[in-house]
């Protein structure tokens, strides 16, 4: 059997795969090195109340500078960091950056919350919830100012354990959002079992608004959120037409290039001060 498998491995092996593996390993090595040398950045994208257009929070988003003002997309390197287990350390660092930024903003008079993305491997570390709580205590951040964004993939993995951890965090006062809602393949029954605060409607359903299929899905998610007593936030809002339609549907909050792109921490402060 082992021989058969190794034969198959030889047969299906292509130089392309070797190149791809080497490329990935190179990226991971560089990422680890840049992370250790404190070269990664956390940027922040404002989130607004759709009715008042008040800034209610922002999402922390990783940025990896690749030199001469360019950045490697987290959509590419986060999945690799997840595979390599590196996301555990990086994710902890992002949380600490978010805590520091929250304190700075609060001291400047901006009491807004910061949402942090959390990956599946982070939940697999024993004591993850306690570590998050300890971090907030350490930075003296009020839990209500931190929100964790988890995707449906987190829920699909080791379900009972994740629920316990999310409940522990929620009891502590941290808010929980389901990110990219509507793009996973899990059953909706988890919505009843998770201690959620917010549904983030994926950009895929906002992109083509107003447009029949997207309208149906966006409307469904917004009314589902309302029925479950959850806030709904639309991500990737780029046009006034999209905003108008979301407003008509009763969506609570928005995040998108139309309002503000992700920006470095100092720029966020300038942005908030200008808006004030
Ligand atoms: P996400 O959590 O769904 O983040 C929203 C993404 O949508 C961000 O992409 C943001 O820049 C982008 N976006 C926001 N508004 C608009 C818009 O109006 N138009 C368009 N075209 N895009 C918009 P970004 O920063 O490239 O991040 C991609 C993904 O990488 C994130 O998706 C998240 O899954 C992951 N990621 C980023 N930072 C972290 C992190 O600190 N930890 C983890 N685990 N994942 C992260
Ligand atoms: Mg997110
Ligand atoms: Mg998202
Ligand atoms: Mg997304």
The pLDDT tens digits of the residues spanning 75-114 come to 999 999 999 999 999 999 999 999 999 999 999 999 999 9
**Cβ of residue 119 lying under 6 Å from some atom of ligand 1:** yes
Give the per-residue pLDDT at 172. 98
Cα 231 → chain centroid: 16
**Cβ of residue 94 lying under 6 Å from some atom of ligand 1:** yes
- With residue 134 as reference, give the H or E element that holds it: helix 128-138
> b vs e for 37-53, b when ≥16 Cβ sit within 10 Å of the residue's Cβ?
eeebebbbbbbbebeee
**pTM for the model:** 0.93
Give the per-residue pLDDT at 84. 92
Q: What is the pLDDT of residues 2-61, one digit of tens each?
A: 556 665 665 566 668 788 888 888 999 999 999 999 999 999 999 999 999 999 999 999
- With residue 198 as reference, give the H or E element that holds it: strand 198-201
Output the CA 229–ligand 3 centroid distance in Å.
20
Output the CA 124–ligand 4 centroid distance in Å.
22
Task: Report which protein residue has its CA nearest ligand 1's atom 10.
Answer: 262
Sequence-distant (6+) residues with CB within 8 A of 158 are 123, 124
Closest alpha carbon to 130 in 181, 168, 83, 92: 168
Ligand 1 site-directed mutation target among 46, 60, 63, 78, most atoms within 8 Å of CB: 78
Q: What is the pLDDT of residues 130-163, one digit of tens each?
A: 999 999 999 999 999 999 999 988 877 766 688 8
State ipTM. Answer: 0.98
Give the per-residue pLDDT at 122. 93
């Amino acid at each position: 059997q082992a021989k058969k498998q190794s034969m198959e491995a030889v047969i299906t092996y292509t130089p392309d795969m070797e190149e791809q593996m080497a490329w990935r390993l190179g990226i991971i090595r560089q990422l680890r090195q840049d992370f250790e040398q404190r070269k990664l950045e956390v940027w922040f994208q404002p989130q607004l109340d759709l009715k008042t257009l008040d800034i209610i929070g922002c999402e922390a988003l990783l940025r990896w500078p690749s030199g001469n003002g360019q950045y490697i997309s987290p959509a590419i390197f986060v999945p690799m960091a997840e595979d390599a287990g590196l996301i555990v350390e990086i994710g902890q660092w992002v949380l600490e950056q978010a805590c520091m930024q929250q304190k700075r903003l609060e001291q400047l008079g901006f009491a807004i919350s910061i949402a942090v993305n959390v990956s599946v491997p982070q939940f697999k570390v024993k004591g993850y919830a306690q570590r998050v709580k300890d971090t907030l205590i350490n930075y003296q951040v009020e839990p209500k100012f931190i929100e964790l964004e988890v995707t449906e993939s987190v829920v699909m993995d080791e379900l009972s354990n994740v629920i316990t951890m999310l409940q522990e965090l929620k009891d502590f006062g941290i808010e929980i959002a389901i990110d990219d809602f509507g793009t996973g393949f899990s059953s909706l029954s988890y919505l009843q079992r998770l201690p959620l605060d917010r549904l983030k409607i994926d950009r895929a359903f906002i992109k083509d608004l107003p447009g029949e299929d997207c309208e149906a899905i966006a409307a469904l998610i917004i009314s589902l959120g309302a029925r479950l007593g959850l806030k709904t936030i639309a991500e990737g809002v780029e046009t006034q037409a999209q905003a108008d339609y979301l407003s008509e549907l009763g969506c609570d909050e928005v995040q998108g290039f139309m309002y503000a792109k992700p920006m470095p921490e100092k720029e966020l402060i300038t942005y908030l001060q200008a808006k004030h």
